[in-house]
A = this chain, B = another copy of it.
Amino acid sequence: MENHKKLSPKLSLLAASLPSTVPFVAPEMTERATGKMFIARLGANESSFGPSPKVEKAIADACSEVFKYGDPDAYDLKQELSKHWNIPAENIIVGEGIDGLMGTLCRLMLDQGDIVVTSNGAYPTFNYQVLGVGGVLEVVPYLNDFEDPDALLSQAKLSGAKMIYIANPDNPMGTHHNAEKIQTMIDSVPDDCLLVLDEAYIELAPNGVASTIDVTNKNVIRLRTFSKAYGLAGARVGYAIGHIDLIKAFDKIRNHFGVNTIGQKAALAALKDQAYVLKIRSAVEHGRNRVEQIALENGLTVIPSSTNFVAIDCGADGDFTRKVLAELVGMGIFVRMASVEPQDRCLRVSIGVPEDIERFALAFPIALERAHAS
């Protein structure tokens, strides 16, 4: 090989074919680009209520252990999750947030060229991870702002898909299917197909949305997180629940020591403080109502939400919403919007603390007016 002068190390064929990109532009990126700090952070469905005071104490206590690598088994956390969900710990894998788990899952399941079915406009990071291993995405449309289980299943059957992705409740629209509908979907997944059921927002959904966990079912894996209701997006702790064979398979390729020590302790404390989750549910419901009121005050409607964000139908097309968004960002309000038609008529506002929502309330009519005028 030493004769081939002027060569340089080549990326893998797959990597060479992929773009360098980011699934989401972070608010910090925008702040650096504009030179202006956001005054309200309502775009990433973070919980600006923050974690429970008990979690804050756990983080402070964990400081003395930050010199230690995190437990690769996340044993204590898995034991508590096991108790909490009444399932064996061996059916749970803890990872670096749902994003991290999705990356590992795609590597585990997909050969290059394998087909994955999702909804057009659903979670971009999942798509990024599928493409990152050479998977092929097929999309079906939303149906009236809901992900469409029947269409997803039909497409998967038609194309012999390896995986189907659905989020329940959905992001970015905030809609949900009830447990029965999801159970019917699980029961209808082709035998050789895996349903990736993203339940990032499940703790914030009404009762009756979470379908019963059956860890003997090989056709579904559930993704959960401490990033939303628990207020720990920055801690990077998510988990997956599934059949033991699939959960064990994560040990083939995962970054065993990837979940940080403080995050593990924080998640454990968060899980133990369910009273705080109830408070957050109530605060988020209050916030959703307030955002609906703001929409109504501006002559607009919202999509009923089962999450910690609300999609406001801006009453026109995506170009209009993009203008509204740009105006809001210009006024220091970080929000996001749906990415594809027809959902992109909607602005997505995360439910943060009331002060932030009120900053949005002040800016929104101005943004709408300017967008109309432009």
Contact = CB atoms under 8 A, between A and B. Distances in A.
A5 interface: yes
A10 interface: yes
A75 interface: yes
A240 B49 CA distance: 34
A248 to B, nearest CB: 5
A114 B14 CA distance: 13
A231 B110 contact: no
Contacts of A258: 96-97, 99-100, 236
Total copies of the chain: 2
Contacts of A47: 67
Contacts of A227: 69
Interface stretch (A80-88, A141-149, A260-268, A340-348): A260-268
A72 B22 contact: yes
Contacts of A255: 96-97, 99-100, 103
Given A23-B256, A69-B234, A111 B193 contact: no
Given A4-B191, A9-B162, A191-B6, A252 B15 contact: yes
A7 B192 contact: yes
A241 interface: no
A56 interface: yes
Contact of A97 (B13, B26, B257): B257
Interface string A69-93: 1111101000000000000000000
Interface stretch (A57-65, A174-182, A290-298, A366-374): A57-65
A99 B257 contact: yes
Contact of A63 (B10, B14, B59): B59
Interface in A29-61: 29, 32, 41, 44, 46-51, 56, 59-60
A157 interface: yes
A194 interface: yes
A14 B111 contact: yes
22 contacts: A1-B160, A2-B157, A4-B191, A8-B219, A9-B192, A9-B246, A11-B108, A11-B109, A12-B109, A20-B249, A20-B250, A24-B256, A29-B73, A44-B69, A50-B64, A50-B66, A60-B63, A66-B233, A69-B233, A96-B255, A99-B258, A100-B258
Given A14-B111, A24-B256, A260-B262, 17 more contacts: A1-B190, A1-B191, A8-B219, A9-B219, A10-B192, A12-B109, A15-B252, A20-B249, A28-B71, A28-B72, A48-B67, A66-B233, A69-B234, A96-B255, A99-B258, A234-B262, A236-B257
